[in-house]
Chains A and B, each alone.
Chain A
Amino acid sequence: MEQRQSAVHSLIELLETIADNKYVLGDRLVEVGVSGPNLEATLASIAMAQGELGHARLLYNWCFDLRGLKGKKPEIYGQTGKALESAVNVHNWITLIAALYATNTAIDAVLQSALDANHPAIVSRIQKLIREQQDHLVYAKHWAQQLAHERGAVPHRFREALNAAANEAAAWLKEVESKEELQQEGYLPNGVKLVERLQQELKTVAAEPFVQLK
């Protein structure tokens, strides 16, 4: 019983971390994305912001349910403080794409692994979210590839931003991997390799090892 409660507690923490990141990214996609490099990228950025904020609300409400909260759900006025620093500190297009790509790839690694674990209480809640998130990942990945192959100082600055964001995301994934109760309760598969999943995906940005995880 105690182990089950500990697993639910860890699950709430995991979901809130994902929700916080999506909440912050949704905010930055509007703040920074509105002055994107071209009209199409800007329009997509604003539309994706709505998607990220919608996902955040869904996950926060799920956390309220897990805590046993009945009745009307409270309004959400801010993140709970678990968002990654690289997402919070987004201030221009380069840092936005780096944070969006690294964070959403890490989140996707967690959610896809949860889908593999096939826990009935989880699968029905995340299937639609994962599907909707794929367009965000395609957008972030292609913009990451463009910035990595741009001219002038952009590739260097982007490499720095992506390295910082990816390392922070990897540290978070490592922490999630180490929570055995999530695997014992069947929320994640046994021996889940989240960091490896992130590394594999990041390799596709450039042929050379563009990102070095510590």
Chain B
Amino acid sequence: MTAAQRRKTFDIFARVKRGDQLAHIGTVEAENEELAKVYATYTYDEEDWAEMVVVDRSELVWVRKPKWLFA
């Protein structure tokens, strides 16, 4: 498998200031966590975030998952 085929979706969550809501601000596709962190830093640099995390979407544990309308 080439690196391009190993690309995964990472969800990005960030907080502008301490005490703010941790909000979902977007996604990046990357080959691994380290690159996802770099891509998130440079792609979502419109704020001086107090906190930012990237989460591999396949690692999310769903409590309720809707059926997508057009899936």
Contact = CB atoms under 8 A, between A and B. Distances in A.
Given A38-B29, A44-B38, A135-B38, A150 B43 contact: no
B28 interface: yes
Nearest to B35: A142
A contacts with B: majority SS: helix
Interface string A15-55: 00000000000000000000001111101100110000000
Contacts of B28: 40
B30 interface: yes
B39 A40 contact: yes
Interface range, B side? 10 to 19
Interface residues of A, number: 18
12 contacts: A39-B29, A41-B39, A43-B39, A43-B42, A135-B38, A135-B41, A138-B35, A139-B35, A142-B32, A143-B35, A146-B31, A149-B3
Given A47-B42, A138-B34, A149-B3, 19 more contacts: A38-B7, A38-B29, A40-B28, A40-B30, A40-B43, A43-B42, A44-B39, A44-B43, A47-B45, A48-B42, A135-B38, A135-B42, A138-B35, A138-B38, A142-B31, A143-B35, A146-B3, A146-B31, A151-B2
